[in-house]
A and B are shown apart, each in its own frame.
Chain A
Amino acid sequence: MTTAEALRDAIAAGRVSERLWLYANYHCNLRCVYCLTDSAPEVPRRILPVPQMVQAAEEARALGFLALGVTGGEPFLIPRMPEVLAELAGRLPVLVLSNATLFTAKLLERMRPLAGLPVTVQISLDSAEPDVNDEFRSPRNFAKVVEAIPKLVDIGIPVRIATTGDHNTAEQMERLCALHRSLGVGDDDHVVRPIVARGRAASNGMGVVAQAKDLHPELTLTADGAFWSPFAPTVRDGRPDTDLLVTRRRLPLEDPTRALLALAHANPAGTDTTLNIR
């Protein structure tokens, strides 16, 4: 059986994700308290070179992956990120994760060509209460996010909201949902997930412990190698974790894909769903 055939079967059976994740970088203009990658402005950038991102997308399409994810760090700190997203979207649909604090009028203008392309921006918003949200993320984050979301929606770019943590009561969650609806984001585009006890979250004593068996296998490429999931290439107190490393070699993509499939085959089916952190 070829790697492409094995991947197709594994995706169909739900044993591995259809999405290939790319960590564009590790640096960020924010310093969120639960950040998996210990990201901040001054950390090593560990940038995944754009030509490798494009090559990975090309090979992902050929192998049978069905979607791409781009995360960081803050991906929009990478110069030309809107243009890079357009290149990637020419291969596969893209979900790009962002803190939405960098969408100036100039950047939004460069985002405009992405309207109509299969690109969705996923933005973090943890509470309808500005103080609560900003305590997790950074001062004035809430104001910037609620300003950016409608502007992206207005230019025709789909937006998803990601809420991290279980701190919201039912009433608070209802207010948060009312808020995202008012910003133009429907309920189907709101995901809520727990804080994972890795990276800065672990340093701060936050989150649920997640091992390989608890995480859905989603091949993830970073400057350091190929990892088990986007929750895997974490950094704790400045030190990159290797416990969920699959291979150091990223390309050709078939190499880490084959290794991930072999590991996923040995993973008990269904255990990753218990923590609901897909």
Chain B
Amino acid sequence: MIELKGIFQTYQGPTGPVEALRGVDLHIQPGEVYGIIGRSGAGKSSLVRVINLLNRPSAGRVVVGGRELTSLNGDALRVARRDIGIIFQHFNLLSSRTVYGNVALPLEIAGLPAAEIQARVGPLLELVGLSALADRYPAQISGGQKQRVGIARALANRPKVLLSDEATSALDPETTRSILGLLRQINKEFGLTIVLITHQMQVIKQVADRVAVIDAGRIVESGPVIDVFTRPQHETTRSLIAEIVPQDLPDSVLARIRTLMSAEHPEQGHDGRLLRLAFAGDESDRPLLSEVIRRFGIDLSIVHGQVDEIQGKPFGSLAVFARGAREQLSAAVAHLRGAGVHVDEVGGDLNGGLASVQ
């Protein structure tokens, strides 16, 4: 549905040219919710504005719905833009128009006859649950309601693609959830392709099918959300995920383990290892922990962890302190890996291990 090829964007900053985008390639499938996440200044907003050519890239091609936008100008580009709706962080509603008037605006711009406009605005307001507020002005409604108006407005021209530029960043968590729920509903109901720009992993986690991580104008990692969450490759991804799934053990946990280990004198050939287990999907339904305890005769204590779900699939991250015979521990790790669990050694062996933890 959307294809970006070799996108570069340079603009003139106060201290010389700034490279906002440095060779971005993206391929977004029809009907998917595609998240693009990055820190502020990473190039997210530049990227979303390239898709509808509010920013014309310095180099590269933009193809939306089979049409190459970068080859269009003037009227042809304006007409093509009607196929791409956009919602904004600060809603960008006209304060001089009512809720109804704001939703009617894109239809007026498209030159639809008044009767047709009237016939379309009603159902749109109903879709976003604002029929009762049609005559209110934006100043008289809440942030979440404003974004609902924004969504209705973005859908008015029946677009194929909806761009969301930090649409929930100015909203509280509760409202964010309901807006994201609405976007998901629209995505399912109309098969609308949605591109979601955000700096909040929570948003990606709740609605995106696939995600791309942008850093310093480049896509550094991309893939299905569950894969990126459970096996982040890039440093930026890891730090973004850390906001909702802690990637490092808290100091208090490490201190507890240190006391635990110094209090014990392991038998010959025995070992203690601190492991981080990341699992996703079906394997989390298996009683894997009791399996390894029974089969390899080791002790496990869960010292830290979190189990959550992404799009109905469970995923989790557990830090366990494992004790037992050295070869049995290695066998247990191999067994877990064989079952699809991602195992990271946090410590090392008993003697040298905790030094590296510190």
A binds B: no
- Interfacial residues, chain B to chain A (CB-CB below 8 A): none
- Interfacial residues, chain A to chain B (CB-CB below 8 A): none
